[in-house]
Amino acid sequence: MSNEASLFHHPDRNLALELVRATEAAAIRAVPWIGKGDKNAADGAAVDAMRAFLATVDFDGVIVIGEGEKDEAPMLFNGERVGSGNGPACDIAVDPIDGTSLTAAGRSHALSVLAVSDRGTMLDASSVFYMDKIVTGPAGRGVVDIRKPIGENIRAYAAAIGKDVADVRVAVLDRPRHEQLIADIRAAGAGTRLILDGDVAGGINAARHDSRIDMCVGIGGSPEGITTACAVKALGGFMQGRLAPKDDEERARGAAAGLDVDAVLELEDMVRGDNTFFVATGVTDGALVAGVKREGDYITTESVVLRSKSGTLRRVQAEHLASKWLDED
């Protein structure tokens, strides 16, 4: 196959700069709903903007990981085709707002997120909504294992990265289901960073070399888990997951969909190959990226663009003429 044909069949380096337009649009459209207490309205505005921009991108995308089904919010649904239909065939994971509750409350760390890989490489875990996960930097490989007690993992990872256990920081969603996990982390001597919502950023920060977060653990949404896997792969980090069905009915549904709900999922099980993209734009300010800001005639956005094939993280800071967005209302 020629180089030209290969680029046509696989997502290439230019695709990320097209995709970032979609996350920028979703983030900008969500801004009027920040702090207004209506997460579905915020999500709906972001969904409409993302869908409109994805339609202009030259690729043949199928949404494998959609959003909104759990809360009956507006959604880019699983199986929906996006893009112009021309160009590379891709699997897509979308979350127009990762952190709708954060957005509605006016809190930090809300993101607009897209992840892309070659067609047929992204695990469809949608039949089981929750996933237990553990994410670290590259030093976690062969050291950390989701099957081990959290204290053992913390001590082993601290040794691997040359830190005292007391200096290790573990991100975990602040949920009642994690009360024992949080207690065990603290009993081991490590500190917690409790996440209110939107655990994709927590996983990314755990995999980054320059973050204050060393590890991200606990049960979150399986869609967010697969999306995070795309980013972690690009960062060269370590991640394992295990589906966490909430009842026997969901366990049976997962089995019927061909999922081994008891298996430990390695990074390669969640997204295969070495051609993944991850794009995120800040909706509200966070540790990963700044949120959208309106300054006079300009709207500013900050995004990160990750690509596994090149192992790069790029920051995209953009100024948008506010009048162009106002004219579209």
Residue ranges of the annotated binding site for Mn(2+) are: 43, 67, 95, 98, 224
Annotated binding site for substrate: 98-100, 130, 175-177, 197-199, 221
Are 116 and 11 contacting, i.e. CB atoms less than 8 angstroms apart? yes
Burial class (CB in 10 A: 0-12, 13-18, 19+), 297: exposed
CA distance to 48, 53, 150, per residue, from 84 (Å):
16, 10, 46
Determine how many CB atoms are found less than 10 A away from the CB of residue 96. Answer: 33
CA distance to 12, 223, 273, 297, per residue, from 308 (Å):
11, 19, 9, 36
Are 219 and 150 contacting, i.e. CB atoms less than 8 angstroms apart? no
115: left (phi over 0), alpha (psi -120 to 50) or beta: beta
Annotated binding site: 43, 67, 95, 98-100, 130, 175-177, 197-199, 221, 224
